[in-house]
Amino acid sequence: MAKSLGTDIGGTFTDFALANDATGEVRIHKCLTTPSDPSEAVSQGVAALGPESLKDLTYHIHGTTLVINAVIERKGAKTGLITSPGTRDILEIGREKRYDGYDLKISFPEPLVQRPNRLEVLERVYADGTVFQKLEESSVREAIALLLKNNVKTIAVVLLHSYVNPTHEKLIGDIIHEIAPDIPVSLSSDVLPEIKEFERTSTTVINAYAKPATGEYLSKLNTRMQEAGADSELLMMLSSGGTTTSETARSYPVQIIESGPAAGALAAAHYARLAGLDHVLAFDMGGTTAKMCLVNEGRIAKTTEFEIAHVHRFKTGSGFPVRIPVVDLMEIGAGGGSIARVTEVDTVQVGPKSAGAAPGPACYGQGGTKPTVSDADLVLGYLDPKHFLGGDLELDRAAAEHALKVAIGEPLSLSIEEAARGVFGIVNENMASAAKVYVTERGEDPGKYTMVAFGGAGPVHAVDLARRLGVHRVLVPPNAGVASALGMIVAPISFDTVRSMPSILSVVSSIDLMALFDEMALECRARMPRDIAEEDITDELSIDMRYLGQGYHENVIIELQDLSAKTFPADIITAFNLAYRKLYGRIYDDLELEIVNIRLSASAPARIGDFSSSTRAKGSTAPFGHREAYCPISDSYVRHTIYRRNTLCPGSMLKGPIIVEENESTTVLNSDCTLAIDDRGSLLVTIGL
């Protein structure tokens, strides 16, 4: 009886989902994250699931914020950088572009590698891969000696045009292993064999910076799981929405930088397929952040345009670029733990700072004194103080009221309830504003989408948020509070790779493209678990393309047969035209198309199909009770009917105002809403816009 365990460590909570791969039966758990040692929360959760939970455990799929936190908090290892002559300062030069032309005091993130530890070696390769100057090993040995003297713990190697010819980088890697075998090495030709020197350098440096901490963390996690009795393979959630081996994650920690949010989008896509929904806006609101992602016809939007550690949170160009495949998310600092405060001009600001797991919101009773979104939700009547986390954490309403009164109410002469309503409305409007930009920039209309809401706080805010977006329907799947952990279970095992191929499409040979595809396919398979059968692997090919002379490209998915078809390259041109017209409203038939990068994603199917059957209630739907709670439709407190999620039977139809409670989350329906329970136990909310 094979089992799969998904564990997701977030900024506030750690989620667990244990599924029987054959029957779909699932057990879940949620507990507070342990910031000082995140693996401790995993041990606590596994213990709560019971020792029998680890029997016959085949896979443990894990997601963590370790890498991104190491960069944001500057807790990575002291890093050295070896590079080509003239490129020592590329991390500071960047794109020589101001992200805010009106900011007279503009600042950029401090490079992860200090200048004394950025060293040049003698070599030079042309853009076509031709060697102009052979690598002088003496200069390499001198650089390594100086880095070791400076006590660096990890080294990144980024040479000009190594994405075309990696010979010199590999020689440097061999010399480092010879001189200092214990020093982790990250070669850009392995991490990101892609054009654009600044982005390639940034990504490789981040990989090197997080490599020692990632290796130490995974070793500790493996030890804790073995001590608990687990004898299973550890897989890591990738930022692209797949899973890979822990060995690959150790070598390429940059690939798991956004692992948790990607898993939530996968869960939303999974439930959308089960519900027969083609256009879905995934909405994940946890304790620290809120994320949104478009899912069209089961396909999750992905991108390689990604930044972390912003100086200004929502300004592109103010962070470190990371060129890896990631789920195309909109992320905003809006979660249950987001702190509310009064600004200098007497307005209320909510987030992006969070109370986190320690001390947490004031209502957690763990020493927090600042008002948060969760405190407002409690005062508004949405949360049951005695049923939070299934009763494992009793909420303190008096502490929540005091925090809102002192920080918001008294400075603005508002009652506690008015302060709570303000916090609730502002955080929802913040999310709605960001979501509108995210959706419209992708050429879509929110009104044609169904919102799939999950995360601990997501179902509480989903209906009001959907109304602000013009979304008519909200789907809340079973076990919505731990959806990211469930998403890890249904995630395919996959690996993504890229090759730069700057060339004019009209002169490219389909034979050359097929040869490159075969090379990339072999690399992907080498990075996947050995027990994956070749016949179970599917490949998705895409090409970064642009009109000749443009500085930015669009990623276009290409059918493999298009590479060998007699109509090549006409089918590829058609695919590009469709994508370009959707974004910009027109195409330019008189301009040549240029290939920039070739991307390949190889994946094996999910191990489990429908794990919702065990959540379906039997019998008759009956209310648990009633509670006064705030309703935005009437702008007053009204009597809400309370239901427990595990008593809602498929086929039931209910009229709002309603509050549906489960151990890990709460769903709030206003008076203009109707609720239907589908045959898999999902809540389908229709909003009377």
Instruction: Give per-residue pLDDT as tens, 565-580.
Output: 677 888 899 999 998 9
Q: Supply the pTM of this predicted model.
A: 0.83
What's the confidence (pLDDT) of residue 595?
93
The pLDDT, as a whole number, for residue 225 is: 87
> Which residues neighbour 684 within 8 Å (Cβ) at sequence distance 6 or greater?
275, 473, 474, 475, 675, 676, 677, 678
Residue 363: per-residue pLDDT: 94
Position 617 scores a pLDDT of 56
pLDDT at position 417: 96
Fold entry, domain 261-334+426-490: Nucleotidyltransferase; domain 5 (3.30.420)
> Around 220, how many Cα atoms within 13 Å sit in the side-chain half-sphere?
14
Residues 181-191 have a mean pLDDT of 96
Residue 632: the pLDDT is: 94
197-208 average pLDDT score = 96
Please report the pLDDT score of residue 560 as a whole number: 78
- The confidence score (pLDDT) of residue 406 equals 95
Mean pLDDT of the chain: 89
Range 483-496 average pLDDT: 85
- Rounded to an integer, the average pLDDT of 480-491 is 86
> In Å, what is the CA distance from 80 to each residue of 85, 117, 175, 186, 358?
15, 5, 15, 10, 34
> Is it true that 3-70+214-256 and 261-334+426-490 share their CATH fold?
yes
- Per DSSP, the three-state class of 52 is helix
What average pLDDT does this structure show over 460-481?
94
Whole-number pLDDT of residue 616: 55
Given this model, what pLDDT does residue 322 score?
A: 92
- Please calculate the CA angle 495-479-452 and round it to the nearest 5 degrees: 70
pLDDT tens-digit map of 628-661: 999 999 999 999 999 999 889 888 899 989 999 9
**Topology, domain 3-70+214-256:** Nucleotidyltransferase; domain 5 (3.30.420)
**pLDDT for 426 beyond 90:** yes
Higher pLDDT, 567 or 45: 45
**Tokens 């086929």 belong to which residue?**
651
Higher pLDDT, 198 or 333: 198
* pLDDT category of residue 424 using cuts at 50, 70 and 90: very high
Give the model's pLDDT for residue 608. 56
Using the predicted structure, report yes or no on whether residue 471 has a pLDDT greater than 60. Answer: yes
Instruction: Tell me the per-residue pLDDT of 8-42, one tens digit each, with 9 for 90 and over.
Output: 888 778 889 888 877 778 888 888 888 888 888 88
Give burial (CB, 10 Å; 0-12/13-18/19+) of 167: middle
Q: What percent of the chain has pLDDT over 70?
A: 97
Residue range 507-529: mean pLDDT, rounded: 86
Q: Any idea which fold 76-208 has?
A: Dna Topoisomerase Vi A Subunit; Chain: A, domain 2 (3.40.1360)
- pLDDT digit string (tens) for 585-613? 899 988 999 999 999 988 887 655 555 54
Residues 306-349: tens digit of each pLDDT? 888 878 766 788 889 999 888 888 888 888 999 999 999 999 99
Choose the weakest-confidence range: 91-105, 380-394, 433-447, 607-621.
Answer: 607-621
Crossing angle for the helix pair 38-49 and 197-228, nearest 10 degrees? 40
Helix axes 458-469, 416-441, angle to 10 degrees: 60
Q: Which neighbouring-strand residues pair with 331?
A: 291
Given a contact cutoff of 8 angstroms between Cβ atoms, the answer to whether 353 and 361 are in contact is no
**Looking at residue 288, what is its pLDDT?**
82
* Per-residue confidence (pLDDT) for residue 565, from 0 to 100: 67
Q: What is the pLDDT of residues 367-403, one digit of tens each?
A: 889 999 999 999 999 999 998 877 778 899 999 999 9
CA torsion, points 479, 667, 237, 606, in degrees to nearest 10? 50
Q: Which of 46-60, 230-244, 400-414, 604-618 has the lowest mean pLDDT?
A: 604-618
Using DSSP's 3-state secondary structure scheme, residue 687 falls into strand
* Among 165-179, 228-242, 584-598, the least confident range: 228-242
Question: What whole-number distance in Å separates Cα of residue 198 and Cα of residue 111?
Answer: 12
So what's the pLDDT on residue 90?
95
Instruction: Taking residues 86-98, report their average pLDDT.
Output: 91
Q: Which pLDDT score, from 0 to 100, does residue 612 have? A: 52
Burial classification of residue 651, based on how many CB atoms lie within 10 Å of its CB (0-12 exposed, 13-18 middle, 19 or more buried) = exposed
Domain ranges of the chain: 3-70+214-256, 76-208, 261-334+426-490, 338-423, 493-604, 622-687
DSSP label of 665: -
Residue 618: pLDDT band (50, 70, 90) is low
**pLDDT of 251 strictly over 60:** yes
In the numeric block, which tokens belong to residue 330?
């909109």
Residue 436 above 80 pLDDT?
Answer: yes
39 Cβ contact partners less than 8 Å away, ≥ 6 residues apart: 217, 220, 221, 224
pLDDT number for residue 619: 52
